[in-house]
């Protein structure tokens, strides 16, 4: 009989440790087959499968499918996302409200603070949405980030049309988190061919 310890890199890890590693591995490289994992840990394929069972990790194909599904959902929601954030009220040519929850993808990894352009995007797309015309484009904007917004906070943007001229509409937008103003902006929006 041969000693098992030396065949790969190191002494075989205890079960717990191996399972912890396994999860990390799969997080980094979700496309690993059981076979490959077994090779890396210097352990039999059945052991890996037992581990997966215990940890509730689905098989390769299941994992891939989940990721693909996520991708699909994203693409679909993106094309639907004509307005950044969710519109909860809209009175054309008058006012509108949208809500945006700050998620991982909106913040700086370093400090969990929302990047300014997401707040801007929410406000800008709402400003454009309230204007009732075929072609609507932002011309100028003057904005102010009043205080930083953090991961998890819900931003409520309120837009109000404040002036109308033949080809321009002025929209004021104020964004609040729990009644505290975090952003405000004045958008001067160009429009043409009334009535979309």
Partner DNA sequence: CACATTTTAATACCAAGTACTAATTCAGTA
Partner DNA sequence: TACTGAATTAGTACTTGGTATTAAAATGTG
Q: Could you tell me the smallest distance in angstroms from the CB atom of residue 129 to DNA?
A: 41
For 59-76, the three-class secondary structure string (H helix, E strand, C coil) is CHHHHHHHHHHHHHHHHH
18 binds, among its own copies, DNA, none (CB under 5 to 8 A by kind): DNA
Q: Pick the piece of the chain touching DNA (CB under 7 A) from 31-39, 68-76, 81-89, 146-154.
A: 31-39
Q: Cα separation of 38 and 6, whole Å?
A: 15
In the set 29, 35, 73, 194, which binds DNA (CB under 7 A)? 35
Q: Pick the piece of the chain touching its own copies (CB under 8 A) from 18-26, 42-50, 117-125, 161-169.
A: 117-125
In the set 46, 71, 86, 140, which binds DNA (CB under 7 A)? 46
Distances (CA, A) of 116 to 155, 163, 183: 12, 26, 9
Closest by CA to 144, choosing from 188, 187, 183, is: 183
What string marks each residue from 56 to 95 as x (binds DNA by CB under 7 A) or -?
A: --xxxx----------------------------------
Cα 36 off chain centre by: 32
| Helix or strand (DSSP H, E) at 21 | helix 15-28
Q: Could you tell me the smallest distance in angstroms from the CB atom of residue 58 to DNA?
A: 7
Whether the Cβ atoms of residue 46 and residue 37 lie closer than 8 Å to each other? no
In the set 2, 14, 61, 179, which binds its own copies (CB under 8 A)? 61
Asked if 24 interacts with its own copies (CB under 8 A), we say: no
DSSP code for 57: P
Angle at 103 between CA 97 and CA 106, to 5 degrees: 85
The binding site for its own copies (CB under 8 A) comprises 30-31, 61, 63-65, 67-68, 70-72, 74, 78-79, 82, 84, 105, 108-109, 111, 113, 115-117, 120-121, 124-125, 128, 135, 137-145, 148
């Amino acid at each position: 009989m041969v000693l098992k310890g030396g065949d790969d890199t190191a002494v075989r890890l205890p079960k717990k440790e191996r399972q912890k590693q396994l999860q990390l591995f799969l997080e980094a490289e979700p496309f690993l087959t059981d076979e490959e994992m077994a090779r890396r840990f210097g352990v039999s394929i059945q052991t890996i499968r037992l581990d997966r069972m215990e940890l509730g990790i689905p098989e390769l194909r299941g994992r891939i499918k989940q990721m693909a599904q996520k991708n699909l959902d994203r693409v679909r929601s993106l094309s639907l996302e004509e307005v950044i954030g969710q519109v909860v009220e809209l009175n054309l040519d008058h006012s509108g409200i949208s809500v945006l929850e700050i998620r991982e993808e909106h913040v700086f990894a370093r400090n969990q603070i929302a990047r300014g352009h997401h707040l801007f995007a929410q406000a800008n797309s709402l400003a454009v949405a309230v204007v009732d015309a075929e072609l609507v484009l932002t011309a100028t904007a003057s904005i102010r980030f009043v205080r930083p917004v953090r991961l998890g906070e819900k931003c409520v943007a309120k837009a109000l049309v404040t002036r109308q001229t033949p080809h321009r509409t002025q929209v004021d937008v104020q964004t609040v988190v729990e009644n505290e103003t975090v952003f405000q902006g004045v958008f001067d929006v160009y429009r043409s061919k009334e009535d979309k």
